[in-house]
Every structure is written in structure tokens, then in C-alpha cells.
Amino acid sequence: MEHVSATGGCEMSGRAIEARVSQRAFFGVSALLFTVSTAVTIAGAASMSAMGEMPMPGGWTMSVAWMPMCGQKWPGLAASFLGMWIVMMVAMMLPSLVPMLWRYREAVGGASVTGLGWLTVMVGVGYFFVWTAFGIAAFPLGAALAALEMQQPALARAVPFAVGVIVLIAGALQFTAWKTRRLACCRETPRRCLMSSALPADATTAWRHGLRLGLHCSYCCAGLTTVLLVAGGMDLRVMAAVTAAITVERLAPRGERAARVIGVGIVGAGVFLIARAVGLG
């Protein structure tokens, strides 16, 4: 009996050590990925800033992210934009994704599951596949609009005012019932998986789980992502503000209250941009 107890105690101790090693490896890799993606994003933004921006009618400048430079072809520009977009999304979304990935690992059985690391990677790949698709859709729209603005001075002069209106609408969206439902869905999806008694530990399920998380996240972040695209582009200050907003409303104990506080700030920014546009006009 004593021998059995000792054996059981050793097994429990071994599992505890294995769990700690797995936890440290997971958070270590996550921190490294965040650090690298952030550094690449900063370097990319600095590189684009060094290339300068095109002055436009209406007193604003257009980012080079939307126009070919120095003989660059459109496919090359699209690939460059998409590469920066993916890296930027990893840097921006990883702080709120890591807790979701950790809950997934617990839901499928923790460190005792064979290939848990690859399953976690599959969830992450599925998640960022959704954001990649979003970037693929955003680029042609942004490039087409940029081309129109360069051809139509009247349209270009209206851009600062239009940006302010869009930011104002995005801020107002933070107070809607739709936003509350999307945020609740985004926050609760990983928890429902954690409470599941039999979440299959296979690659297909992991991929689908990542897609589901990515879709919920993209719906929830639609307003904030729009602010990033129209007001920031590759502006590191806007990226940092949007990253902080997404992380806070996703992880704060009262996410809906945090979303409304963030909404106040975005509405204020929209009003400021509109007032500035009117003053410049």
C-alpha cells in the first residue's frame, strides 16, 4: 500500500513538473513572438515613415502603404502590405489571444496531451488566418480609394472630414447593443470551451476553434480596426492605442464598461478631427 502511494505520488509530482515546464514554454514562446512581431512592426513603420508621405489637397498626407513606389508593381505592393499587416496583427492581437490559447490548452487536457504545442499553433494559425483574410479584403479597397483621391482633388479635400465622421461613428458603435453582444461572445467563447468536458484534441478541431475565435474577434474589433485603418495606417501611436483598447475591453473584469469608456475617447477624437477638418477648410 505504501509502495502504491509512493508511486502515485511520484506520478503526480512528475505531472506537476511537466505542467510547469509546459506553462513556462508556452508563455516564453508567446513573449518572444510578441517581442519579435512588435520589433518588426516598429521597423516597418519607421521604414515607411522614412520614405515620406504624399501631400494631398485638404492639408493631409497619404501613406505610402497604398501606392507603388520606385517602380514597384501592384502585386509587390500588395504582398508588402499583407506581410506588414500580418506582423502588425500578431503584435496587436497577441496580448488578448494568449489567455484564449491558454484556456484552449487546459480544455484539451493540458500538458498530458501529445502534440499540445502543435495544436496550440493550429489554433493561432486559424485565428490569424481570419485577420489575414481581412487584410486581403482591405488592401484593394484602400488602394482603389487612394487612387481616386489622387485623381479627384475635391474628394481628397473631403478626406479629413470623412475620417473624423468615421472615427465618430466607430466611437458611437462602442455604446451599442451590437457591440455588447459581440464583446460578450468574444469573451465567452474560450470559457465555454474550457467548460467543455470533451473538447477533441485534434488538428481539425484546433483549426476550427482558431477560426471561430478569429471571427468573433474580428466582429468585436470592427470599429477599432476601422479607426486603425482610416486614422492610423502605420502610425505607431494609433497602433498602440488600438492595441491597448482591444486588450482592455477583452480582458478587463467589466469588459462592456471598458468598451464604453474607450468609446468616449474615440468619440472625442472624432469630434476633434471633424473640428480640425472644418477649421482647415
In the chain, the amino acid numbered 44 is G
Residue 272 has pLDDT above 80, yes or no: yes
Angle at CA 80, nearest 5°, toward 33 and 226? 75
Q: Which three cell numbers stand for residue 177?
A: 447593443
Distance CA 241, CA 43 (A): 18
CA angle 7, 10, 16 (to 5 degrees): 145
Confidence of residue 103 (pLDDT cuts 50, 70, 90): confident
Distance between CA atoms of residues 265 and 278, nearest Å: 20
Average pLDDT of the chain, as a whole number: 84
Instruction: Please give the radius of gyration of the chain, using alpha carbons only, rounded to the nearest integer.
Output: 22
* Residues 19-72 pLDDT 10s: 787 788 899 999 999 999 999 999 988 887 767 677 788 777 887 777 777 777
- Are 277 and 161 contacting, i.e. CB atoms less than 8 angstroms apart? yes
Determine phi and psi for 196, rounding to 5 degrees: -65, 135
Lowest model confidence (mean pLDDT) among 15-19, 122-126, 173-177, 228-232: 15-19
Mean pLDDT of 237-264: 91
Q: Show the CA angle centred on residue 104, arms to residues 111 and 18, nearest 5°.
A: 10
Query: What CA–CA distance (Å, rounded) separates 17 from 240?
Result: 37
Going from N- to C-terminal start, the domains of the chain cover: 2-149+157-280
Q: Which residues pair with residue 61 across a beta bridge? A: 55
Q: Write out the three cell numbers for 215.
A: 471571427
Q: What is the per-residue pLDDT across 11-20, written as a single tens digit (0 to 9) for each?
A: 556 566 777 8
Question: Considering only CA atoms, which of 78, 75, 77 is closest in space to residue 51?
Answer: 77
pLDDT band at 210 (very low <50, low <70, confident <90, very high): very high
CB 108 within 8 A of CB 116: yes
Distance CA 120, CA 203 (A): 9
Give the whole-angstrom CA distance, residue 163 versus residue 277: 9
Please give the Cα distance from 93 to 76 (Å, whole number): 25
pLDDT reported for residue 196: 47
Is there a contact between 230 and 277 (Cβ–Cβ < 8 Å)?
no
Best CA proximity match to 170, nearest among 277, 278, 273, 270? 270
Q: Which three cell numbers stand for residue 149?
A: 483621391
- The strand pairing partners of 54, in sequence order, are 62
